[in-house]
A and B are shown apart, each in its own frame.
Chain A
């Protein structure tokens, strides 16, 4: 499969440092566009909303949660695979992880930041969000730790810290390697970031130990983060949300959409940074297998959720279920089933997994489907609560659509800045997969 000639150690350095320092006009064009789009479609509407009120969104009384919260869950979900996948693959010592994990972890970090921003957008009075943080204050009032929303605050804080530490510790040797190749402000930056790393045997040993421990800590953390997000919904007694299966459902969904996100991102990295010799079809093949497994798991849990709801026989559950399957949002539901459960079955064919363009299409479709899922979880449940007199319908407004597109642009912005600052492929670990220069050979 790997027909490309393996690069030498020196070539690895050259290739990766090149992605950092050589910046073409296309990059600036992309960054400028993304920045402009994020300002026009994210920050301006948000500012407008801060001035007037959340009423700009399409939410109403039974549907008090809308696409802003769906955005939050979507971005948290996207954040899930990066660091989690990287940690799992590190512990299971899968060598194919090494070329992809850095950018996957960056995806985690930025998706998390966007998710937190989405929380800000969601709030009625965003300027008081700090009240939900535990800090001593003159009101002598602390946040309510009984609230699932506060579990969220704590979990996201821990996850943001954990994944940035994981990303940073893994990148220290690469910062050191880049430090010696650049000049100017970059030199100062990388000198600071590399902390004086020399690559001695002692340092490598400590790095290995610390990195493994971090990986071990990140896995339960990542699982808990999305469980906690699911509890925001499942702790309510709303029919359609109050399911015990919600935590695993969300975790699987998150890993699913996150893995699809990684495939999309790898395709773009490979294409626009000419990293063909590092990101190979092996990676797409392996990720394709993972996606296939996750799609089956996701479909299974979805069926289970519907089945247990139906089997309960409670009138409220049945109504919510009927509404979900055949009501106003039914086209969206069946679209989601098509995108997330049926189309990914094509991944069973190896040709599909190793063809980059089909992988790109499938991964994008999966994420569209997963976004629909997040929206449906909120809308189909909240619009059919217990009292039929108060049923309602929710449709997103232009402001909400623009804020979602803007948040994607903001994510791209972050990512474009990232690839110019942090080596997007781990040099030292890619070198590990190559042959050590030994005299014997």
Chain B
């Protein structure tokens, strides 16, 4: 009977690891560490684009800053022979994200674009996702933050403002992706390479950050990802991040 067949098929489908074999788009990023100067323009752009609250001096000192992207700074070697290295660190949008299965209420899950998304309104604030994240890419709203006048005028209307007790993290500027996808759909085509850029990519003066669809073999990210300098941070943890770093030699 077709009924039992469909149940069998469904079972097979639901038992498939990852569930979706092929994403509509597979958004990814390549970060060339050779080009990164550590100027933190990306951090500022992200702050402006995504309505990141300003936690104030005390909040920053106690390690509660809300940053979706940060520049990690490492010193390599001993004094006079020393080298400074920067690694921009943001949500890696792992295919096997450790943060996702731990959320008891599905506030974070994988969408059809291969993005690890966070549903602010669903979040109950167990903070387990942040504890599970090996990249420490998640930030928690320890309080409800307000914007003093006239700073509230510069809030981005496309992005919600988060309340206290909610986890948040880099979305790859999903509002821009949505907009690009809508435009593309209206014109009956796929999103072109370079048509959509998160705020950090857009603002990078040295173009160290490149964003695009990894499903498209001709896109800039796919080509750059082939670079022999490419590596994934903490690859040994098998999280399979969507961000490829190009080694600083």
Inter-chain CA distance A179–B140, complex, in Å, is: 54
A385: contacting residue among B74, B124, B134, CB under 8 A: B134
The answer to whether B74 touches A143, judged by C-beta atoms less than 8 angstroms apart, is: no
Which of A204-212, A326-334, A345-353, A386-394 lies at the binding interface? A386-394
Interface: A53 (CB within 8 A): yes
Inter-chain CA distance A129–B126, complex, in Å, is: 10
Q: CB-CB < 8 A to B140: which residues of A?
A: 54, 61, 64, 124
Q: Convert B21-63 into 0s and 1s, putting 1 for each residue whose CB lies closer than 8 angstroms to a CB of A.
A: 0000000000000000000000000000000000000010011
Interface: A246 (CB within 8 A): no
Q: Which of B131-188 contact A (CB under 8 A)?
A: 131-132, 134-136, 139-144, 163-167
Inter-chain CA distance A62–B137, complex, in Å, is: 10
Interface: B224 (CB within 8 A): no
Least Cβ distance of B57 to chain A in Å?
Answer: 14
The answer to whether A131 touches B74, judged by C-beta atoms less than 8 angstroms apart, is: no
Q: CB-CB < 8 A to B63: which residues of A?
A: 60-63, 392
Interface: A80 (CB within 8 A): no
Inter-chain CA distance A203–B239, complex, in Å, is: 58
Q: How many residues of B contact A (CB 8 A)?
A: 45
Inter-chain CA distance A60–B61, complex, in Å, is: 10
Inter-chain CA distance A284–B139, complex, in Å, is: 49
Interface: A238 (CB within 8 A): yes
| Interface SS of B by simple majority | loop
Q: Which of A370-417 contact B (CB under 8 A)?
A: 382, 385-390, 392
The answer to whether A382 touches B131, judged by C-beta atoms less than 8 angstroms apart, is: yes
Given A149-B128, A236-B132, A389-B74, A53:B142 Cβ within 8 A: yes
Q: How many residues of A contact B (CB 8 A)?
A: 43
For A382, the closest partner residue in chain B by CB is B131
The answer to whether A237 touches B132, judged by C-beta atoms less than 8 angstroms apart, is: yes
Q: CB-CB < 8 A to A311: which residues of B?
A: none
Q: Convert A142-168 into 0s and 1s, putting 1 for each residue whose CB lies closer than 8 angstroms to a CB of B.
A: 011011111001000000000000000
Given A62-B63, A392-B63, A125:B101 Cβ within 8 A: no
Inter-chain CA distance A123–B102, complex, in Å, is: 14
Given A123-B124, A388-B74, A54:B104 Cβ within 8 A: no
- Hey, which bits of chain B sit against chain A, CB under 8 A? 59, 62-65, 70, 72-74, 87, 89, 98, 101-106, 122-128, 130-132, 134-136, 139-144, 163-167, 234, 237, 239
- Hey, which bits of chain A sit against chain B, CB under 8 A? 52-55, 58-65, 122-126, 128-129, 131-132, 141, 143-144, 146-150, 153, 232, 235-238, 382, 385-390, 392
